[in-house]
A and B are shown apart, each in its own frame.
Chain A
């Protein structure tokens, strides 16, 4: 991996530093405003939410009550929704990465008839909007009887055409042929070589694909909305949207929604901040070459 480029060394003066940092700060405020707002909002009761200014704390802090209420409402369904999201995104992401890695490696390291055709087909899949496949998939699953089950969201989550694409490119670039040959000479089977030599070399790409798929599945709204009618199967995105739909009728849903939103985004944000370097890593190494 290359060290960071030395654009920094091309000139630096206090005036431009202040200007640039100033701009960056204003932009940062824009990105952080909603987060700041929800932290404040989650400390307020519904009354205070309307009565007090949105950017300032109210007369009393109800953060603990709101969060507890959000976690225990309806038998703790928010926790259930979190668990569902983790199932769909975690298990789905892991398996999707594994399958994409296997497929990408196969395409990179072996030459056989139909190889480029398959690559082109999958590439086409990258360009197709996922929502265009969700509706017909719903009809297909309904006929098979698995709509409105965990499988209906899990199965589509196991496929990552973009991951396949990334893994092929990465495997091409980093899995050294000589290592593979050496392992063959040593008598290792092809599958064994994939799991020991291939996967190990592809780790940065695997992490990128996993994170990409994880975030993609976690954020997906259209697919579970189409597939699921049973509230206990909802991921947290669908569940919170449901709570938000009730604020007009029952005022305590304001507290539930702000509390629930806060609980759902804090871990995600922390994860993003911590994991952002993996994004850079995987993407630099070959994926974005022309």
Chain B
């Protein structure tokens, strides 16, 4: 906690601002300004005179028209719905897997925990794009050894078909980030004092009981952190579907909200619509995280 009662003395305040300045300036410039600009752009539309605007273009206030257009676009709305579906399944599965792995690794019965930890964490170092390229090879019939092996036992998998491709993407995301989330949980697990384990053992609790009543509640902060970041991450998914688009006809140009905004900006040159969509995405992420944190905080009180 800061030391002084009341504000710090003037030279100290000055120093504080000097230290703060670079970060603050950059933050304002690369976060606040763009969001402000996006909000501004989202309320504007461009009027074009002539066949293509060659006789002049004017910007005019558009009210909520861009937002209405965004919500009237079935693809964009569909993409948000798709991400909800994705998030509701993939995030719990990934966090649960990360938790189980963390608990297993930290349990008495695990051999070579350091080696396993390393193996699970390693995919985090692979950028999502590269992971998608890798997995896309593993999804394409004719190249994929997985499909070949499954065919040996008579299972016919189509990773890139319309019903499966969302989960193929989920697989890539899970593969990349489970280890990372697991490590955060492991860190929290290691912070549990030994006395608590002693007390549990004295009480006769077996490993499963310890996990449920002791460990899970105490790693709550880590779980919250990973879930919130995963929610935000889900809304941002872009690279994985874009790479899979090259091998799957089921992935359209507006498969995720980010792809839709990118599409609006660079395929249709409608920067105003793209700005509205970007604002919608940011607000949704913010709202979801906020609501989630609120709900869980209330439980904690």
| A residues with CB within 8 A of B | 2-13, 16-17, 19-21, 23-24, 27-28, 30-35, 37-38, 41, 49-50, 53-55, 99-100, 102-103, 105-113, 118, 121-122, 124-125, 127-140, 155-156, 158-159, 161, 164, 172, 177, 180-181, 189-191, 194, 215, 218-222, 226, 237-238, 240-241, 244-245, 248, 257-258, 261, 264-265, 268-269, 271-273, 276, 279-280, 283-284, 288-290
Contacts and interface: CB of A to CB of B under 8 A. Distances in A.
A23 B104 contact: yes
A8 B194 CA distance: 10
A219 B135 CA distance: 16
B23 interface: yes
A125 B246 CA distance: 33
Nearest to B228: A127
Residue from the set B127, B184, B191, B215 with the largest chain A CB neighbour count within 10 Å: B127
B122 A127 contact: no
B271 interface: yes
Contacts of B193: 2, 5
Nearest to A52: B145
Given A156-B30, A190-B12, A31 B122 contact: yes
A189 B186 CA distance: 40
A160 B189 CA distance: 26
26 contacts: A2-B193, A4-B190, A5-B190, A5-B193, A9-B197, A10-B197, A10-B210, A16-B207, A20-B107, A31-B123, A34-B135, A53-B145, A105-B19, A110-B13, A111-B7, A111-B8, A127-B285, A132-B38, A156-B30, A158-B26, A158-B30, A164-B27, A189-B15, A237-B129, A273-B121, A276-B117
B129 A241 contact: yes
A108 B2 contact: yes
Interface string B251-267: 00000001001100100
Contacts of B110: 17, 20-21, 24
Given A5-B193, A272-B121, A290 B101 contact: no
A208 B169 CA distance: 28
Contacts of B249: none
Interface stretch (B46-54, B58-66, B159-167, B275-283): B275-283
Given A156-B30, A288-B221, A10 B116 contact: no
B118 interface: yes
Contacts of B120: 27-28, 31
Nearest to B6: A111
A237 B130 contact: yes
Contact of A125 (B27, B112, B200): B27
A31 B125 contact: no
A133 B285 contact: no
B15 A103 contact: no
B23 A100 contact: yes
B156 to A, nearest CB: 17
Interface residues of B, number: 121
A20 B184 contact: no
A276 B123 CA distance: 12
B281 A129 contact: yes
B256 to A, nearest CB: 10
A53 B222 CA distance: 42
Q: Which of B34, B121, B123 has the most CB of A within 10 A?
A: B34
B20 A102 contact: yes
A125 B27 CA distance: 9
Contacts of A28: 116, 119-120
A181 B8 CA distance: 13
Contacts of A133: 30-31, 34-35, 38, 278, 282
Nearest to A290: B221
Contact of A272 (B7, B122, B137, B286): B122
Contacts of A271: 125
Contact of A24 (B37, B105, B175): B105
A11 B207 contact: yes
B289 interface: yes
A8 B107 contact: yes
B105 to A, nearest CB: 7
Contact of A159 (B1, B31, B127, B274): B31
Nearest to A238: B129
B201 interface: yes
Nearest to B39: A136
A54 B148 contact: yes
Contacts of A161: 27, 31
Contact of B262 (A11, A135, A238): A135
